Amino acid sequence: MVTPENNLRRLFAALQDELLAGLKANKVIDHPGAKGAATEADWLKVLQQHLPQRYSADRAIVIDAHGDVSDYLDIVIYDRQYSPVIFARNREQYIPAESVLATFEVKQTLNAANVKYAGDKIASVRRLHRTSADVHTLEGVKPGRKPCYVTGGILTTTADWQPAFGDAYLKALGELDANQRIDLGCSLAHGAFRASYDKGLATEQSTDASSLVSFFMWLLMDLQPKANAPAIDWNEYIKALEP
């Protein structure tokens, strides 16, 4: 008899094989931009199909009440239930900073340059201003909650480092400043990882066989305590529209 644990492992192994097959097929694409777009689309598809419906995952630009914007981001995970997309046209979407829960950059390989690149993209979101308004409920008005920490990460197919999660990997993460910090990532061929910085850099890695399932479970664990995004103070956005 097959146990439930084995069923779960088999299901995610099949999903990982499917994603890896799609990413390997992208190798035949010669144009770097086209190859990158195809890889981003594969990762987005996995997240869009498997995250709970309260979350959305899209390519996007993040905007705040001051009119400042982030860099263009490969993947933004945000609370769509209580947050509008301010502007959407073709591939351009502008999402209010308050609704962002996590952002990921997609690259072909894990190396120091791509870690730094992803860190800079993540920092462009964390530097934005985020408002918080009172929440009106049947029990009365409750004070607005503090905006949640924006989780940052990197998603790759493989890694340049051998071993993938050795000294070079730790050095690259350790050189990121507070706004650039990478909390969660996956190199499909080598494993998933998560990092904490509370008492200095500490990391945890999965095996290569469980890279996708480990990444996905760690992502769900990260999103769960964040609950709903804070209510947006639209008065601050209105002020930005005034001449």
Which SS3 state, helix, strand or coil, does residue 158 take? strand
**Residue 164 in contact with residue 154, Cβ under 8 Å?**
no
Active site residue 160: no
Active site residue 105: yes
Q: Which residue among the candidates 42, 58, 64, 105 is catalytic per the annotation? A: 105
Q: Which residue among the candidates 74, 98, 183, 222 is catalytic per the annotation? A: 74
Q: Minimal CA–CA distance to 13: which of 242, 178, 162, 207?
A: 207
Residue 201 burial (C-beta neighbours within 10 Å; 0-12, 13-18, 19+): middle
Q: Per-domain residue ranges for the chain?
A: 4-131+145-241
Tell me what pLDDT residue 14 has: 77
Active site residue 79: no
For residue range 73-120, list pLDDT tens digits in order.
999 999 977 777 777 776 678 999 999 999 999 999 999 999 999 999
- Label the pairing between strands 158-159 and 191-196: unpaired
For residue range 173-213, list pLDDT tens digits in order.
999 999 999 999 999 899 999 999 998 999 999 999 888 88
For residue range 33-42, list pLDDT tens digits in order.
445 577 888 8
Strands (E), the chain: 55-63, 73-79, 87-89, 92-96, 100-106, 109-110, 135-137, 140-142, 151-156, 158-159, 184-187, 191-196, 202-205
Mean pLDDT of 46-65: 91
List the single range of 54-58, 122-126, 203-207 with lowest mean pLDDT.
54-58
Q: Which residue among the candidates 107, 121, 183, 222 is catalytic per the annotation? A: 107
Backbone angles phi, psi at 46, to 5 degrees: -60, -45
Res 13 pLDDT > 70:
yes
CA–CA gap between residue 213 and residue 86 (Å, rounded): 33
Residue 141 DSSP code:
E
